[in-house]
Amino acid sequence: MTPYLTAAFYKFVHLPDFEALRKPLLALCEANEVKGIILLATEGINSTIAGPELGVRAVLASLRSDARLADLQHKEAWSSKSPFYRMKVRLKREIVTMGVPEVSPTLMAGVYVKPEDWNALISDPEVVVVDTRNDYEVGIGTFTGAINPDIKNFAQLPAWALANPELNPASGKKPKVAMFCTGGIRCEKSTAFMRAQGYDEVYHLQGGILKYLETVPEEQSLWEGQCFVFDERVSVGHGLVPGHHGLCRACRQPLNDDDLASPLFEAGVSCPKCHAHTLETQKNSARERQRQWVRAKALGQQDPIGQRQAPPKVAPKETPTIP
C-alpha cells in the first residue's frame, strides 16, 4: 500500500492578492490528488495537506516558487491512509483567529526556543508557562506545570491573559512568559499580543508540541499525555506515533476509551460530551448520514455523498490545522 505524506505548514506574510490565489491553488491540489485544507488571508497561509508523496511535494514546490513563500517550512508525517477526505481552500480574515487586528506576528512575535532547549526554560521557577490551546486539546495532554487557560477558542486568550493574576501580579512586575501550541502558529500571535502589552521576555516553542515530540527523546520529555491533531489521526504521542483517541463527529472532541465505551456514545451521532446538547431531530439526521456513510464505505466509496459525514456541530471549533 502506498503511504500518504502529510505536510503541515504556515507562514505569516503579507498576501494582498490572497483571494486570487484560491482557484489555482485548489486546481493544483486536485490535479495532484492532494487533500486537506488551506487557509489564505492577507496575513499569510496556514495549511495541512496529505496525498501521494510526489503530489504533496509538487504543491509545496509550487508554493515556494512564489518569492513571498520561498522560505516556507513544513512538517511531515506518514500514514497508511489519507487523513483527509477532500480538498478545501478557504479565504479568511485571519489564518488563525485571535480578533486583535493590530497584533502583527511578523513584527512582534516572541523569542523562538528550540525543542532541545525547552525543558530548561519551562523548568525555571520564574517563568510562567502557558498552554495557548483550547480546553479539549489540553484535556488529553500538556507540559508539566503549564497553566491551562480553559478557553473554548483562541479568540478568548487575550481576555484571559489580561485578567490572569500569574501574568499580572500585584507587584506590577511583568514575569517571563513561555507559550506553546500544537505547531507554533497560535504562539506567533499570542507572544506578539503579550509583547504589545509590555511584556519584554516572551518565549515560544519553535515548531510547537509536534516538533518537540518529534525531537526530544521520551525519556527526557516533560510532555504528559497525547497531542491533539486536527485530522483523522486525532492524537499523536512521542515520535508522532498515532495515539489511541477516537473522535466524536458531532462535537469534534477527542474521546478516550471510557468515552467510547459510554452508552451515550453513538458513532457519527453523539458522545458523553455532547449528547445532552443536541436535539433528537439532529441526532436522527446524523444517524441517517452515518447509515449512508457506512453503506458507501462497504461499497468501497471513500468519500460518500460528496463529503465526510458531518453531523450538526454543538460547539464551535477552530479550523482543523496542525501548525
Encode pLDDT of 210-244 as tens digits: 999 999 999 999 999 999 988 778 899 999 888 88
CATH number of the domain where residue 75 is located: 3.30.70.100
Does residue 69 lie in a domain region? yes
Catalytic position from the list 29, 181, 187, 251: 181
Same domain, 181 and 159: yes
Does residue 132 lie in a domain region? yes
Domain range spanning residue 287? 247-306
At 281-298, the pLDDT tens digits run 999 998 998 888 888 777
Of 57, 91, 125, which residue sits at a domain end? 91
Residue 309 has pLDDT above 50, yes or no: no
Same domain, 198 and 113: yes
Same domain, 122 and 173: yes
pLDDT at 318: 42
- Residue 72: closest CA among 81, 84, 82, 63: 63
Of 35, 61, 91, which residue sits at a domain end? 91
* 181 noted as active-site residue: yes
Same domain, 113 and 206: yes
At 165-177, the pLDDT tens digits run 999 998 889 999 9
Using pLDDT thresholds of 50, 70 and 90, give the confidence band for residue 1.
low
End-to-end CA distance of the chain: 27
pLDDT at 83: 81
Strands 246-247 and 254-255: antiparallel
CB 50 within 8 A of CB 231: yes
Strands 202-205 and 111-113: parallel
Does residue 236 lie in a domain region? no
Cell of 95: 489564518
Residue 207 has pLDDT above 60, yes or no: yes
Distance CA 274, CA 260 (A): 13
Q: Is the full-model pTM beyond 0.95?
A: no
Counting residues of the chain whose pLDDT is more than 90, the rounded percentage is 68
Same domain, 13 and 73: yes
Same domain, 255 and 285: yes
Same domain, 163 and 130: yes
Same domain, 213 and 266: no
Does residue 182 lie in a domain region? yes
Residue 314 has pLDDT above 80, yes or no: no
pLDDT at 2: 66
Distance CA 173, CA 6 (A): 44
Whole-angstrom Cα Rg for the chain? 20
Averaged pLDDT of the chain: 89
Same domain, 46 and 114: no
Distance CA 109, CA 120 (A): 21
Same domain, 165 and 203: yes
pLDDT at 156: 96
Structurally, the chain folds into a number of domains equal to 3
Same domain, 111 and 220: yes
